[in-house]
Amino acid sequence: MIPQAVLDQWYPVAMTSLVGPWPGRETQLLGRPIMVFKTQSGAVSVQTAQGQAVAVTLAYGHVWACLGTPAQDLFALPEAAQPGRRLVDCGVVRVKCSPLRAVENFLDIAHFPFVHTDVLGAEPHTEVGRYEVQIRDDVDEVWATKVHFYQPQAAKSAAGGIVTEYMYRVAAPTAAVLYKTCPNRTNEWDVIGIFVQPLAEDLCDVYPYMALFDDVTPQADLIHFQQMIFLQDRSILENQIPRLLPLDPGMEIPTQADLTSVAYRRWLKRKGLTYGAQVVAA
Amino acid sequence: MILYDYILSASCYKVRLMAALLGIKLDLVAVDFHPGRAHKSAAFRDLNPAGSIPVLVDGDLVLTESTAMLVYLAQIAGPQWLGEASPQSAARVQNWLAFSGRLNSSLGLARLHDMLHFPADITACRTAGHLCLRELEAHLTQVRLEGRIFLEGTAPSIADIACFPNVALAPDGGVELRDYPSVRLWQRAVRSLPQFIEMPGIHRLHDLKPAPHSGAAA
Ligand SMILES: [Fe+2]
């Protein structure tokens, strides 16, 4: 049985630009087969195998679906509508891992120098300073702020190494966004996200997403950069043990760098969002 | 020299790797292979009617097969990479270049299926991939018994570079390499070549060493 709280959340199920006519994208959500297609009037519809239409929202270049009754509106990402930003759809990558693991890895700051060597991090610049993590009750989201990190090439448009400031945000159970110092505009943040479609408890489709201030870099270069970063994570994600995300805080000892992950797990547990999680200690 | 490139493509990486090992600088042009399928566009087909990547352009020369690109780069900057001069050796190198095509249509396709949703008979791909790996394992074990490590002769050649990427990326397509110890040792030898470069899914050699500060399998 899938908990009702899980069914009542929004999940990404397709890139809007690639949705075709019936039967459209035949995929699955939380283990259930669904079809994402354009109706004759041009609207996007999501149906279960039984022909039942489910709740749909189009936002941030993606189709979002909810199999139950939406517990809230889809999270707000006002930056996506900001003039001058380029929205970059980075395709979809399938990963044999828990959807929650994919989000947790995205939140893990300490892995940059080891996994994204010489791009997002470099030895010996491996230390993560103190930063702040909170579960914001007003928006019901997890936020990590004041994260500072040395990066050799923080973005496609960055010429050399810089200390980059980050904010991390868990905006939905399987959607996370990070804000980072924009190399081209000092008073703005670049927005990078991953939207994760839970196909099953240990299988997901991951849609990397970007909304950047960058008028120069060709679109294909931006896509390659983001895919390179994400694919460096894929092999690690597929080899994680245990495969499901443990929600029991006793199982792993947190360090400063893991605080965001701890908050994410606590938030999931509190909300009963256990799909892809291991609730009982192994 | 311009390489029309896709960062996640094993065949493109083959050419980037060869160029790096030879110290040749390529001008990379990123092609939106996924999700844009730009390699199938009319504009790209003007350059390469097959609609495939990579494409290497050097003046009037346009190459559309990655193995031909390896030959070209080696001819320019490192003829020792073409293998030894004997008819047998030269022919065996050609054999490995063709073999790398089999790796691409088995292990390579399994990877594109698992990772980027390419349509494929995944079981057939993986079975064919294991057959290739068994052939490779048998050959490399024999080579090791003779005190060598590379596919052909005593030094690395374009044969190694042609076969390395799809083998190293096999786990991305659900084909594990744990049953192929000689293949793994050979991979390690390729990864230790001076000026070796990585790609997503293929890490540099220091990853094989234990982490300096923790026992956790991070
Ligand atoms: Fe990462």
A235-270 pLDDT, tens digit each: 889 988 889 998 876 656 666 668 898 899 999 999
Residue B60 shares a structural domain with residue B92: no
Residue B99 shares a structural domain with residue B201: yes
| Structure confidence at residue A150 as a pLDDT band (50, 70, 90) | confident
CA distance B33 to A219: 12
How close is the Cα of A233 to the center of ligand 1, in Å? 5
Low-confidence residues in chain B, pLDDT < 50: 208-218
How close is the Cα of A113 to the center of ligand 1, in Å? 10
Q: What pLDDT is attached to residue A164? A: 80
Residue in the block written with tokens 């509106």: A73
Write the residue in B30, B117, B204 that is nearest to A224 by C-beta. Answer: B30
Q: What pLDDT is attached to residue A214? A: 87
| Structure confidence at residue A128 as a pLDDT band (50, 70, 90) | confident
CA distance A231 to A91: 12
Q: Pull the structure tokens for residue A263.
A: 């908050």
Q: What pLDDT is attached to residue A236? A: 87
> Worst-scoring range by mean pLDDT, A193-202, A271-280, B198-207?
B198-207
Q: What pLDDT is attached to residue A187? A: 84
User: Cβ neighbours of residue A110 under 8 Å, at least 6 residues apart?
Assistant: A126, A128, A255, A257, A258
Contact B201 A232 (CB under 8 A): yes
Mean pLDDT of A35-47: 96
Q: Which residue of B has its CA nearest to A231?
A: B200
Residue B66 shares a structural domain with residue B116: no
SS3 category, A245: strand
Residue in the block written with tokens 């891992």: A97
Cα separations in angstroms, A152 against A82, A124, A245? 28, 12, 31
CATH number at residue B59: 3.40.30.10
Kindly tell me if the per-residue pLDDT of A281 is higher than 60: no
Q: Strands A162-172, B2-5: parallel, antiparallel or unpaired by DSSP?
A: unpaired
Closest Cα in chain A, distance from residue B169 (Å):
10
Domain limit, last residue, from B45, B80, B115: B80
Tens-digit pLDDT profile for residues B95-140? 999 999 999 999 999 999 999 999 999 999 999 999 999 999 999 9
How close is the Cα of B196 to the center of ligand 1, in Å? 22
What phi, psi does B200 have (nearest 5°)?
-55, 125
Write out chain B residues lying below 8 Å of A230, CB-based. 200
Q: What is the DSSP string of A85-108?
A: PEEEE---EEESS-HHHHHHHHH-
Cα separations in angstroms, A88 against A25, A219, A227, B88, B98? 21, 7, 11, 51, 37
Q: What pLDDT is attached to residue B205? A: 75
CA distance A201 to A180: 30
Mean pLDDT of A198-218: 93
CA distance A109 to A123: 14
A interface toward B at CB cutoff 8 Å? 15, 18, 89-94, 96, 111, 114, 117, 218-221, 223-225, 227-232, 234-236, 238, 241
Closest by Cα among B62, B86, B83, B61 to B74: B83
Residue B75 shares a structural domain with residue B94: no
Which neighbouring-strand residues pair with A122? A125
Q: What pLDDT is attached to residue B214? A: 41
Contact A227 B201 (CB under 8 A): no
Q: Pull the structure tokens for residue A60.
A: 């941030």
CA distance B70 to B81: 9
Q: What pLDDT is attached to residue B216? A: 37
Q: What angle do CA A224, A230, A236 make, to 5 degrees?
A: 145
Contact B32 A238 (CB under 8 A): no
Q: Which residue of A has its CA nearest to B39?
A: A220
How close is the Cα of B120 to the center of ligand 1, in Å? 28
Number of Cβ pairs < 8 A linking chain A and chain B: 67
Greater confidence (A249 vs A204) lies with A204
How far is CA A229 from its chain centroid?
13
Mean pLDDT of A26-37: 97
Q: What is the set of domains in chain A, with CATH numbers?
A: 4-66 (2.20.25.680), 81-278 (3.90.380.10)
Write the residue in A117, A220, A229 that is nearest to B38 by C-beta. Answer: A220
Q: Which of A217, A235, A236, A261 to mutate to test the interface with B (most CBs of B within 10 A)?
A: A235
SS3 category, A257: helix
SS3 category, A211: strand
Residue B91 shares a structural domain with residue B169: yes
CA distance A152 to A155: 9
CA distance B159 to B99: 9
Q: Which residue of A has its CA nearest to B168?
A: A235
Closest by Cα among B165, B170, B197 to B17: B197
Write the residue in A114, A117, A231 that is nearest to B8 by C-beta. Answer: A231
Mean pLDDT of A164-188: 89
Residue B63 shares a structural domain with residue B93: no
> Worst-scoring range by mean pLDDT, A24-38, A61-75, A114-128?
A114-128
Respond yes or no on whether the N-terminal peptide bond of residue A173 is cis (omega within 30° of 0): no
Tell me the pLDDT of chain A averaged across its residues: 89
Contact A228 B204 (CB under 8 A): no
**What's the structural domain count of chain B?**
2
Q: Pull the structure tokens for residue B98.
A: 């063709």
CA distance A4 to A168: 27
Residue B96 shares a structural domain with residue B51: no
CA distance A106 to A237: 10
CA distance B151 to B132: 14
Q: How many other C-beta atoms lie within 10 A of the C-beta of residue B23?
A: 10
Kindly tell me if the per-residue pLDDT of A156 is higher than 80: no
Residue B93 shares a structural domain with residue B191: yes
Q: Which residue of A has its CA nearest to B115?
A: A94
CA distance B20 to A111: 26
Closest Cα in chain A, distance from residue B116 (Å):
5
How close is the Cα of A140 to the center of ligand 1, in Å? 25
Residue B130 shares a structural domain with residue B205: yes
SS3 category, A168: strand
Contact B7 A228 (CB under 8 A): yes
Domain limit, last residue, from B17, B52, B80: B80
CATH number at residue B184: 1.20.1050.10
Domain limit, last residue, from B80, B104, B134: B80
Tens-digit pLDDT profile for residues A48-78? 999 999 999 999 999 999 999 999 999 999 9
Which residue range is the domain that position B89 belongs to?
83-214
CA distance A235 to A97: 10
Please report the beta strands in B59-202, taking only residues with DSSP state E, as ranges in sequence order.
61-63
